Amino acid sequence: MHIHILGICGTFMGGIALLARAAGHRVTGCDANVYPPMSTQLGEQGIDLVAGYGAGQLTLNPDLFVVGNAISRGNPLLEAILDRNLPYVSGPQWLAENILGGRWVLGVAGTHGKTTTTSLLAWILEEAGLNPSFLVGGVPQGFGVSARLTDSPFFVIEADEYDTAFCDKRSKFVHYRPRTAILNNLEFDHADIFSDLAAIETQFHHLVRTLPGNGLIVANSEEASLKRVLDRGCWTPVEWFNGAEGWQAGEPDVSGGFAVTLAGKTQGRVDRFDLAGAHNRANAMAALAAARHAGVPVAVGLKALASFSGIKRRLEVRGTVRGVTVIDDFAHHPTAIRVTLAGLRQRVGRARILAVLEPRSNTMKLGAMKAQLPESLADADATYCYASNLGWDPAAALAPLGIRARSFDDLERLVTAVAADAREGDQVLIMSNGGFGGVHDKLLAALAL
């Protein structure tokens, strides 16, 4: 079957492309915004891309169009598909109907940490010899791809609460029917589709309703929102993490290693851990608990955590020039920005951190979280905000930071300013959920002058 994917360079739809190709289909796709790591990954896999959404792509004559949730009514290719009554389906529905059926699905949901926790869980199962299939919203370094299909009964998936498609406004994760589910955390986000936190909690409870009685929910005990979700009704056993009653990580040593307890009883130790921050140790606890449900002994899980090598765009070092290190991260929600900075601060000690931020997500563009930005950036010694196409004034929002924050509406001026301010030993942390105009390479080039 020939499948043509609309929005193929999104992390989820790019993963769908890899799975469909592995399942024996011919895959092509189109997108308006093409940037690494997904564009690179698709090219390496030999998947042909078409730039834009022109209706002329109908001449490719695919058997099925798979439509990503970034595609909305008015898109010329989508309108042509609808006008001609051609077969189409959403990405999550295609995945559920063609790949997930009959498998033990391990889903990782939450406002933050989904990609890291999904990657950790897949890595533990891999190291345990279970050879899992997976779909991650990023590229784990140990695997080199964001998705793969194997003959294993286990499938690990990043379970996103964002809506499914233009024609299906339920959260993506209701399609997956996991047997094991991690509920990492739950905060207000996606202000473009959810009116408030209660609306997101309702979607999470829809997910809870799909879990079987012989499944497992691994939930964060520090999140009152998750407890409210489960109080609505729960038919599945629950294991908690991040509290004395459940899985808990101790304080890290100089190698990042830490002790692990379950209900206060020592389970063993992670000898080293390359991911910085308490949030990542919590992610590791969730992954360890979920892997145990799939049959992985705790000792095997602890050893696997010590060998995990990270994920692209999660505190990924892009280069060092004249002693200045440029780091890329996907953080875009104030909580994610705060914990990412805290994790980097733990790693670099007193070194200066220059935070370069692009408020690019729909929630940030709407200004729903602008009041939380100054506090989330408190760990940075200086902040540079790229303010293109925002409906609010970032300079006013960041005013509580005083001279430590500057805003720019021109990317080249921002790069010039950061390069001029940076000095040996500085850590430049670039945070965006998009390509950010290639700012990483531009800054490295400017530093080299």
pLDDT of residue 411: 92
Residue 310 confidence (pLDDT):
73
All residues at 6 or more sequence positions from 199 whose CB lies less than 8 Å from its CB, including other chains: none
Domains and CATH numbers, the chain: 2-91 (3.40.50.720), 101-306 (3.40.1190.10), 316-448 (3.90.190.20)
Give the model's confidence band at 183: pLDDT under 50 very low, under 70 low, under 90 confident, else very high: very high
DSSP 3-state assignment of 175? helix
Which pLDDT belongs to residue 359? Answer: 84
**What is the C-alpha to C-alpha distance for residues 196 and 273, in angstroms, rounded to an integer?**
36
pLDDT tens digits for 119-161? 999 999 999 999 999 999 888 888 888 899 999 999 999 998 8
Decide: 147 and 134 in contact? Cβ < 8 Å. yes
The one-letter amino acid code at 377 reads: L
| Residues 6+ positions from 319 with CB-CB distance below 8 Å | 325, 326, 440, 444
- The β-bridge partners of 261 are 248, 266
State the Cα torsion 104-238-241-200 to the nearest 10°: 80
Q: For 261, how many CA atoms within 13 A lie in the half-sphere containing its CB?
A: 11
pLDDT digits over 152-179, tens only? 999 999 998 888 999 999 999 999 999 9
Among 30-39, 80-89, 341-350, 351-360, where is mean pLDDT lowest?
Answer: 30-39
C-beta of residue 137 within 8 angstroms of C-beta of residue 116: no
| Residue 317, phi then psi, degrees to nearest 5 | -75, 120
Mean pLDDT (whole number) for 358-368: 73
What's the mean per-residue pLDDT of the chain?
A: 91
- C-alpha distance from residue 23 to each of 60, 97, 268, 395, 423 (Å): 20, 13, 39, 50, 50
pTM of the model: 0.79
Higher-scoring residue by pLDDT: 362, 95: 95
What is the CA angle 122-124-127, rounded to 5? 110
203 confidence band (pLDDT: 50, 70, 90): very high
Range 360-386 average pLDDT: 83
- pLDDT at residue 191, rounded to an integer: 61
Query: What are the distances in angstroms from CA 288 to CA 71, 186, 220, 384?
Result: 36, 20, 13, 37
DSSP 3-state of 364: helix
- DSSP character at residue 96: I
What residue type is 153 in one-letter code? P
Residues 7-24 have a mean pLDDT of: 93
Q: What is the tens place of the pLDDT at every residue in 271-287?
A: 989 888 888 999 999 99
Return the residue matching tokens 């998947």.
47
